[in-house]
Amino acid sequence: MCGLLGLVCSAQNNNANIGTAVGSVARALQCQRHRGPDESDTWHNNDVVFGFNRLSIIDVERSHQPLHYAQGRYTILFNGEIYNYLELRAELRDSYGAEFATDGDTEAIVAAYHHLGPSMVGKLRGMFAFLIWDAEKRVIFGARDPFGIKPLFYAAGPGGVAFASEKKSLLDLAPTLGLSPKLDQAALQHYLILQYVPEPETLHTTIRRIESGTSFTVSPGGQVVTERYFQPTFAPRPITTSTEAGQLYRDIAGVMRDSVAKHMRADVTVGAFLSGGIDSTAIAALAKEHNPDLITFTTGFERTGYSEVDVAAESAAAIGVKHVVRTVTAQEMMQALPLITWYLDDPVADPALVPLWFIAREARQHVKVVLSGEGADELFGGYTIYREPLSLAPFEKVPGALRSVMGKVSSRIPEGVRGKDLLRRGALTLEERYYGNARIFRDDQIQQVLRTHDPRISHTDVTARWYRDSLAWDPVTRMQHIDLFTWLRGDILVKADKMTMANSLELRVPFLDPEVFRVAARIPQDQKITKETTKYALRQAMRGIVPAHVLNRRKLGFPVPVRHWLKDEMHDWARDIVHQSLTDDLINKNAVLRILEEHRSGLLDHSRRIWALLVFMLWHGIFVERRIAVHVPEPHYPVKL
C-alpha cells in the first residue's frame, strides 16, 4: 500500500530537460507522503521518471520500489497487495523458470508480465494500480484492479503523460505537463446529483481516472490506450431445492474463509474494523481464526440511535477479540473536515468518511493493516433500496401513459407529504429512477442552487452504458451492477482508501475478491432480497460464524447525526462556510442559506444536500481559491509494528 507517481515524457529528452522533470516529480511526490511514509525513492531514464512512497507490508526489508526486473528491462511501480502472490510466484517458477530476487508480491507482478504478457492481469487476486516500464519496447503497461479498490489518476499534455495515486500530485505536475486544469462544471453537476464525482471524471478538467478493471498502454509521445479486462457478469441460478440452497451457503462460507485467509498475509500486524453489521463481523470472526490476538476497532457518536458501539462491543466479546472504540463529536468533525477534504482530492459528500478518518487514526496506533467489510452489499444484495422492486412491482403493470400522469400528480404534491416520492418513483422506469444509493439533488432542486446547471446533463450520462450491459438480468441484479460501477467505486472505496491512507493505514476488503464474486454472481434474486431481510444467502452462510445477535440485524449503514447537528451545533459553522465561500459564479448562496434555514426550522430535511454543498465549498476554497490553508501533519509511523 503506497503512493506512486510516473511521468512518461513527450519525446526524447536531453539531460537538462530530464533533470527538470526529475525535480518536478520529486516535489510532486511529497503531497502523497502519507500513503508511504516508510521510504521514498525516484528513478529515471530519458523516457520516464518514476517516484514512489512506500508503506512496507510484505517483504519489509526488500521489495524496494521502483523495482527492476530481468536485468533492468522492466521497472515497476505498484500500489496495493496481491494476495495470491505466493501461488503466483510458485506457478511462474515451476512453469516458466522465473527467478526472484525478493520475497514480495511486487516482483511477482512484473515477472508475470515478462512471462505472460498483458493477460497476466487476470491472474492477480488483490487490489492494485501499477505501471510497468519495458525499456526494450519503450512502452508502459499498467492496470487497475477489477473493482477499483486502489486509485489511479492520469493527465496528458504537451509535456507528457503522468499517472499518480493522488490527484494532488498531478496538479503539482500540471506546469511540467503544459496543463492548466480548471473546474469541470459537468463533473460538479454530477457530484451534486450523486454525492461523488463518477469515474472517469474528476472535478478538474484534463485530469481523469483509469477506470476499475481496466489496463492500458502508453509510449513516450503517444496517447493512453485503455482496454477493459474485467467485466463483472452476474449469472443468477435458480435454487429449487434445500440441497441446492445448502450447497450455495457452503460455497459462500468456503470462499469467504479462503479470501480472509489470503487477506491476512502480511509481515506486520493485521486488525479489523468492526461495526454492528454482519459484514464486518463476519470478516473479524474469520480473521480471528488466523490471529487469536486480533484487535478490532469501531467508532460512534454520543447520541442515541447514531452509534453501533454497543453492538460492536458485544460482537467483539462474542468473537473473543480485543476491542478499541473511538467516539467522535460534532466539534471534532467540524475541525477535521478541511484536512479531510484535502486528503480526498475530490469532494465526497458522505458524512461517514469523517468518523472513518478518526477510527483509522486510532487504529494506526495499534496496527498497520485492517480488514473491512466493504463490497458485501453490492455482491450479496445488502442495501435496503434493493427491496424497492418488490414494493414497486404493482406500478410495473400500469400502462406508460397512466404512469406519466402519476408523475405529474406527484409533482403537484408539496414536499414532505407522505407518498409523494413513492408515487414519483413508481412513475419512472428502473433506468430513470435508480442511479445508485445516493440521490442528493433532483433536477428540479439542483436548478435552484447551481447557477451553471445544464439540463442536458443527467445521471443517465453515467449509468446508461452499464444498464445496456444488464438487460437480461432481474431488477435487483441490475441495481447491483449499477452500484459496482457507481456507488461502490465512487463513494465506498474512495472514502475507504483516502481515509485510511491519510493515516498511513492499509485497508483490505476480502469481499471484493474475484473468487468471492464468482460465487456471489450466481445467487438468485430470492436468495438476496426477501420481504423481511437483505443478503439472505450470506446470512445463512454465516450461521455459526457470526454471533446470533448480528445474524439477522437490519442494515443501518453508518448513520452520522448531521441532520441534528446542522440544526444546532453545526448551524453557525455551516452558515460561515457559505458566507466565506467564493463560489458565487457557481452556487446561488442565497438559495443555500434558505435551505439551511428551512432545515433548521424542521420544515424539511435538507441535511444531505447541505453537507454536499459544504464539502464542495471547502474543496473549492482549498484547491481553486487557495484561500483555505490546510496544515497537513507529517506521518511519523515506524516501519514495523
User: What is the chain's mean pLDDT, rounded?
Assistant: 93
Answer yes or no: is 246 a known binding residue: no
Provide the pLDDT confidence category of residue 637 given band limits of 50, 70 and 90: low
Supply the CATH number for residue 107's domain: 3.60.20.10
Answer yes or no: is 411 a known binding residue: no
pTM comes to 0.95
Specify if 182 maps to a domain. Answer: yes
CA distance 342 to 637: 20
**Sign of the CA dihedral 405, 406, 409, 411?**
negative
β-sheet bridge partners, residue 81: 127
Q: Catalytic one among 1, 2, 174, 278? A: 2
Q: What is the mean pLDDT of residues 595-601?
A: 96
Is residue 551 within a helix (H) or strand (E), and if so which, with residue range?
helix 548-551
CA distance 355 to 333: 8
- Three state DSSP letters for 363-381: HCCCCCEEECCCCHHHHHC
Place of cell 509535456: 159
Neighbours of 46 (CB within 10 A): 16
410: left (phi over 0), alpha (psi -120 to 50) or beta: alpha
Question: Residue type at 236?
Answer: P
DSSP 149-198: -S--EEEEETTEEEEESSHHHHHHHHHHHT----B-HHHHHHHHHHSSPP
> pLDDT tens digits for 74-130?
999 999 999 999 999 999 999 999 999 999 999 999 999 999 999 999 999 999 999
Catalytic annotation on 2? Answer: yes
Specify if 88 maps to a domain. Answer: yes
Specify if 236 maps to a domain. Answer: no
The answer, yes or no, to whether residue 403 has pLDDT greater than 80, is: no
CA distance 438 to 614: 17
Per-residue confidence (pLDDT) for residue 48, from 0 to 100:
96
The answer, yes or no, to whether residue 586 has pLDDT greater than 80, is: yes
Domains in the chain, number: 2
Interior CA angle at 145 toward 489 and 274, to 5°?
60
CA distance 174 to 604: 43
Query: Residues 203, 586: contact at Cβ < 8 Å?
Result: no
CA distance 109 to 182: 36
Give the residue from 171, 202, 228 where a domain finishes. 228
Specify if 217 maps to a domain. Answer: yes
Specify if 323 maps to a domain. Answer: no
Give the residue from 228, 245, 270 where a domain finishes. 228
Q: What is the mean pLDDT of residues 462-473?
A: 95
Specify if 427 maps to a domain. Answer: no
Per-residue confidence (pLDDT) for residue 338, from 0 to 100:
98
Name the CA dihedral angle for 232, 235, 241, 247, rounded to a multiple of 10 degrees.
-40
Is residue 130 within a helix (H) or strand (E), and if so which, with residue range?
strand 126-134
Answer yes or no: is 56 a known binding residue: no
CA distance 253 to 247: 10
CA 23, chain centre distance (Å): 31
Grid coordinates representing 581 are 465561500
**Which residue segment(s) compose the domain that 616 sits in?**
562-623
Query: Residues 137, 148: contact at Cβ < 8 Å?
Result: no
Specify if 184 maps to a domain. Answer: yes
Provide the pLDDT confidence category of residue 614 given band limits of 50, 70 and 90: very high
Give the residue from 228, 256, 284 where a domain finishes. 228
Neighbours of 303 (CB within 10 A): 14
Specify if 414 maps to a domain. Answer: no
Neighbours of 22 (CB within 10 A): 17
How far CA 364 is from CA of 370, 388, 500, 640, in Å, comes to 9, 39, 9, 12
Per-residue confidence (pLDDT) for residue 14, from 0 to 100:
64
